[in-house]
Amino acid sequence: MIFLLKQVVQWLAGSGPVGLRPFDQICAGRGEAGGVHRPESFCGEILQVPADTCGYKVSPSLLGQNPQPEPLEGRSRYRRDGLALSPYRRLLSLTDARVAGADAVVCCPQQRLAVAETVRQWNLPATRHPLLASPRFPSPQILPGLTLSLGTLDGGGFYHFLLESLPRLRLAQPWLGRVDHFLANGAAGGFQELWLARAGVPVGKIIWLNGHSHYACEQILFTNALCHDSQPTPWLIGAIREVLDTPLAVRPGNRKIWISRTDAGSRHLAWECDLLARLDGFERVELARLSPLEQMQLMAEAGMVAGPHGAGLSNLIFCAPGTQVVELLPDNRHRPLFARLAAAAGCAHAWAAVDFAQTPASCDELASRIRSIAA
C-alpha cells in the first residue's frame, strides 16, 4: 500500500520513472512520427551476440550425500539436469537518458519509463522496483559525452562483478576508446578497481555507483543481462578471459590450491588446518591478497582447486579444462552456482556437505576422497 501511494505521488509530483517497458518499445516511442526533420537521437541496438548453451547435471558427492532441493514458490529453485540457453546479448544505446541507483537502472525521462532490461530484483517483480516509487530521488548529475554502464544488481560482490559486469567490456570493446565515463559498482581502491584496471579501463574515467547515484547521460551504452541467474555459459567465460587477457592454460597444471575463507566475513571452516594436515601438497591461499594477474596465473597452473563455498571459487573460470574442483558446502542444499561454472569452464566438480563449525566424524574419509581425486 505504501509503495502504491509513493507511486501516485511520483506520478503527480515527481519526475522519475512511473513504469517500465522493453528497450525496443522505448525506442519506438522516440520514432519519426513527426517526420525526418526532428532532433536526432542515437538510440538503438549496436550489437547482438547470439545465444549459446551449456549442459548442467548434478555433480557427485564425495561422501555419497543426496542434494536436497532449495524450495522456492513451492518447488525446487534449481533444476538438477538439463540444457540451459543463454539470452541474446545486446549492446544498446540511448541518448538523453538517466541512470539511477547502485544497480544502474536506465530510464527515458521524456517517457518517464525505465528500460525493463536493466531492472532486476531478487525476490520481487521488476514492477516493484524502489525507483518506481521514489518521488524525492536526488537530482541528476550531468555526464556529457559517451557513458558505458557496467553496473549490475549486487555488483558489489565478486561473483556478480566478474560474471555480469566485466563481460560487458567485451561487447563494447570496439568503442571503448570513445567512452568518456564508466559507471561501475564498488569504490576507489576496492577489488573492482584492480580488475577494471587489468581490463584496460582508465581508472580516472570510473564513476562509482551507490544507492543514490543519479546521472543524466548525453549518451549511455548498456546491455541486457548477459546470463540468466546462476546459468553461466562458455561464451561468458570466454568473454571474461578475453577482456582480462587471461594467461592461456590448455591442460591442468600440477599445483593443488586450497581457497581459504579465513579473511572473509562468513562461512569459515573452523577445522581447515586439521583437514589440510591430512592433504599433502595443498597450497592454502587467500585470493583477496593477490593481484588479478596473480589470481589468474595461480588458477591456470592448478590441477585441483578446493575450498568452502564462496566467491573465491568464481576464479575457477581461469582454470584449464579438466581441472578438478572440490567444493565444501555448509549443508546438502542444492547450490549449483560453482558446479555450473565448472561445467561451463570444462572442469570436473565434486562436493561434500559438512559442518563448518566443528570437525566432522567424516574428516578422514573426506580427506581420503580428496587425495584420491588429486592423485
- Residue 293: pLDDT band (50, 70, 90) is very high
Beta strand pairing call for 82-85 and 75-76: unpaired
Is there a contact between 104 and 153 (Cβ–Cβ < 8 Å)?
Answer: no
- Residue 100: pLDDT band (50, 70, 90) is very high
What is the mean pLDDT of the segment spanning 370-374?
Answer: 92
How far is Cα 122 from Cα 138, in angstroms, rounded to an integer? 24
Beta strand pairing call for 302-308 and 255-259: parallel
Beta strand pairing call for 324-329 and 53-56: unpaired
pLDDT tens, residue by residue, 143-189 = 999 999 999 999 999 999 999 999 999 999 999 999 999 999 999 99
What cell was used for 260? 581459504
How far is Cα 328 from Cα 313, in angstroms, rounded to an integer? 11
Q: Residue 204: CB partners within 8 Å, gap ≥ 6?
A: none
pLDDT tens, residue by residue, 338-367 = 999 999 999 999 999 999 999 999 999 999
User: Residue 323: which of 300, 340, 307, 297 has the closest Cα?
Assistant: 300
Three-class DSSP labels, 308-343: ECCHHHHHHHHCCCCCEEEEEECCCECCCHHHHHHH
Is there a contact between 59 and 349 (Cβ–Cβ < 8 Å)?
Answer: yes
How far, CA to CA in Å, does 91 sit from each of 47, 86, 88, 224, 225? 5, 15, 10, 7, 10
How far is Cα 164 from Cα 161, in angstroms, rounded to an integer? 6
Question: Which residue is associated with the grid cell 556478480?
Answer: 160
Question: Going by CATH, does the domain composed of 255-374 fall within 3.60.140.10?
Answer: no
How far is Cα 340 from Cα 323, in angstroms, rounded to an integer? 14
Q: Residue 153: CB partners within 8 Å, gap ≥ 6?
A: 103, 120, 121, 122, 160, 164
- Residue 137: pLDDT band (50, 70, 90) is confident
How far, CA to CA in Å, does 139 sit from each of 16, 96, 99, 130, 263? 10, 15, 11, 16, 39
User: Residue 267: which of 189, 353, 152, 153 has the closest Cα?
Assistant: 353
User: Residue 185: which of 225, 150, 148, 224 has the closest Cα?
Assistant: 150
* Confidence (pLDDT) at 266: 83
Kindly tell me if the per-residue pLDDT of 368 is higher than 80: yes
Is there a contact between 284 and 263 (Cβ–Cβ < 8 Å)?
Answer: no
DSSP secondary structure letters along 113-152: EEEGGG---SSS-GGG-GGGG-TTPPPPEEEEEEEEE---
Residue ranges covered by each domain of the chain: 2-49+90-229, 255-374
- Residue 39: pLDDT band (50, 70, 90) is confident
Task: Please give the model's pTM, rounded to 2 decimal places.
Answer: 0.95
User: Residue 129: which of 142, 117, 141, 111 has the closest Cα?
Assistant: 117
Is there a contact between 234 and 240 (Cβ–Cβ < 8 Å)?
Answer: no
Give, as one character, the DSSP assignment of residue 237.
H
How far is Cα 93 from Cα 321, in angstroms, rounded to an integer? 36
